[in-house]
Structure 1
């Protein structure tokens, strides 16, 4: 009886302690849930470039790029918004300023910065634009100049895009996919090195995009009249993504926070939209909206003041804008799919 009375007498104390503990956990959960990054730093290529590529280079700064948004060419390799814009929207931020405009619009430095250049890779793929190592150097220099503080970096997200320029460059040099698996390993290893370097600069969350289905890009589906994907290329993409996931899992194990590095699955998101286009109001899943007239011309080509390209009647219903890049409608559909994934939801918390 005494034991029962003692147990009953202790019950209020236990409940108080338990409620206090649960309250503390709830408060911490709320803090975690309400955390929103204050800046976005972007590294990579044309899938995320919002204006760094020079105006004298093909595409992005030439008509008809930008006809949907903002209504004129603005440095994006699309008719409108690209992945960077949608990630910034998800974080509740303005799309970060392109690096080359950092001195022209200093008031926008508070949203982060976009260091991505079209045509670049983790290795040298362009004689005119900096690879990812140099892009990270740019951020490091800005830190040294006190443009960004330790607090800025800690309260930020970095997005890294590796969309396949290294592989296009490899094919242009070698002419075949022989030796590709070994080269894929090199690209993933260098990507991992880049991710760690960004982390060491103080960025709290680093997001890297898995490789999209290269075999489904219009340049690779043209031979089938834009009807089906090239399975050979997609098999190599799956190898890249498998190695990337392994590398990121290893990095997270070595990190103090096991959610520092996040892979967003662009392959699955692209395929989901391409396989069910009508769900996303896409009428042309594989055919590009803007194409050059003849093999020697690309979207945006002009000769003797004559446009050497054609634009589809409805860019808002085409998934691809040109031979390589999604349209704004395509990116929006991919973004809608990404938002439902656990990996993408980790970006904000």
Structure 2
């Protein structure tokens, strides 16, 4: 597992994004006390499903919030936390935590929903043992059909789902040196499966289902590092744009086939992040939005790495910037809390629209 977090190429499989909902804004009706949030996807949404061997449970992750490592792939809050705040609830409990909690003490945590997202997961199998999207949805179904944790009546008119997914599928394909000419075919397979997954979640009783677009993966530090973080890789970004175009069409088709309008929604994290990059580049502050705050001291090391002799107590093989609150990215793959907050501000109108 640690090898996975240390190697940049394989680290790419942890994340993508993609990304969760945010602070309760003025003018939105107060969420019903029974509102629940169910989260599916990758490390952009994972709040602690991985075990303690993952980098997200090691210093310096979590230094901004909650002040120590807590399973988030960031220095602080991620999109999941902002989405929960938008709904007026606490962040939903990670699935693995819920299953390890004594049954008689689960109820308080389960009232806000559950987070099934795992870093490294994809629509299809990308990183074993991270459960793919279909497996995550099966786990959710079991909480309803077998474990009776939730009932469909609990979910109707008072539940939301967020999916942050698919980047790892493309990166797995790239790491296997797949033929670029076959990439459109891969996109079609991914979108077809995503359509099925979205429909399954709604069919289980969730009233509103949102999915993030792929982020501008050509702007991720692990990619931008090749040119000293000066600009984004347009080849990668073009692949993300094509995926997002197909995703918009698929979601529109799903909404056209439902009896209620606006059941399925898209959160355009691609455009939100690109807007922030352009804003930062034009601010004249000197801060490079593509350069991460936490970085390995050499190409062989990643954020959170220490020497071989002593866990968190060993010599640090990474450096952290002086002020994470000014960084868009935390490590080579994941946005910092500041980045997620900026994304939320841009996506707020989309969140309002979903509430209609």
Deviation of 1:111 (Å): 0.3
Q: Is the 8 A contact 1:163 1:212 kept in 2?
A: no
Question: Once superposed, what is the RMSD of the aligned Cα atoms?
Answer: 1.9
Unaligned runs of 5+ residues in structure 1 are 1-31
After superposition, the Cα gap between the structure-2 partners of 1:161 and 1:259, relative to the gap in structure 1 and judged at 3 Å, is: same
SS at match of 2:160: strand
Deviation of 1:178 (Å): 3.9
From 334, 338, 348, give the equivalent of 2:343: 334
Give the aligned partner of residue 344 of structure 1: 351
Deviation of 1:33 (Å): 5.7
SS at match of 2:346: helix
Give the aligned partner of residue 139 of structure 1: 140
Deviation of 1:177 (Å): 3.3
Alignment of 1:158-307 (within 5 A): 158-162=161-165, 164-174=167-177, 177-277=180-280, 283-303=287-307, 304=309, 305-307=314-316
Q: Is the 8 A contact 1:317 1:329 kept in 2?
A: yes
Q: Is the 8 A contact 1:284 1:317 kept in 2?
A: no
2:126 and 2:109 mapped to 1: Cα distance?
30
Unaligned runs of 5+ residues in structure 2 are 1-27
SS at match of 1:151: helix
From 63, 66, 75, give the equivalent of 1:67: 63
Give the aligned partner of residue 311 of structure 1: 320
SS at match of 2:176: helix
Deviation of 1:92 (Å): 0.9
- Name the TM-score, length of structure 2 as normaliser: 0.85
Alignment of 1:68-147 (within 5 A): 68-103=64-99, 104=101, 106=106, 107-144=108-145, 145-147=147-149
2:29 and 2:63 mapped to 1: Cα distance?
38
After superposition, the Cα gap between the structure-2 partners of 1:337 and 1:50, relative to the gap in structure 1 and judged at 3 Å, is: same
Deviation of 1:344 (Å): 2.1
Q: Is the 8 A contact 1:122 1:131 kept in 2?
A: yes
Deviation of 1:248 (Å): 0.3
From 39, 47, 51, give the equivalent of 2:48: 51
Moved >2 Å (runs of 4+): 32-37, 175-178, 281-284, 346-349
1:307 and 1:252 mapped to 2: Cα distance?
50
2:351 and 2:215 mapped to 1: Cα distance?
15
Q: RCO greater where, 1 or 2, for CA within 8 Å and sep 6 or more?
A: 2
2:286 and 2:166 mapped to 1: Cα distance?
22
After superposition, the Cα gap between the structure-2 partners of 1:295 and 1:203, relative to the gap in structure 1 and judged at 3 Å, is: same
Which is further off, 187-196 or 96-105? 96-105
1:259 and 1:224 mapped to 2: Cα distance?
42
2:355 and 2:82 mapped to 1: Cα distance?
13
SS at match of 2:111: helix
SS at match of 2:162: strand
SS at match of 2:39: strand
After superposition, the Cα gap between the structure-2 partners of 1:311 and 1:81, relative to the gap in structure 1 and judged at 3 Å, is: same
| 1:276-315 CA-partner distances (Å, limit 9, x unpaired) | 0277x99331101111121111111112222111111111
Q: Which has a greater percent of helix?
A: 1
1:206 and 1:73 mapped to 2: Cα distance?
29
After superposition, the Cα gap between the structure-2 partners of 1:84 and 1:34, relative to the gap in structure 1 and judged at 3 Å, is: closer
Q: Is the 8 A contact 1:320 1:326 kept in 2?
A: yes
Deviation of 1:63 (Å): 0.8
2:180 and 2:119 mapped to 1: Cα distance?
23
SS at match of 1:310: strand
Q: How many pairs does the alignment contain?
A: 315
- Name the TM-score, length of structure 1 as normaliser: 0.86
Instruction: State the structure with more CA Rg.
Output: 1
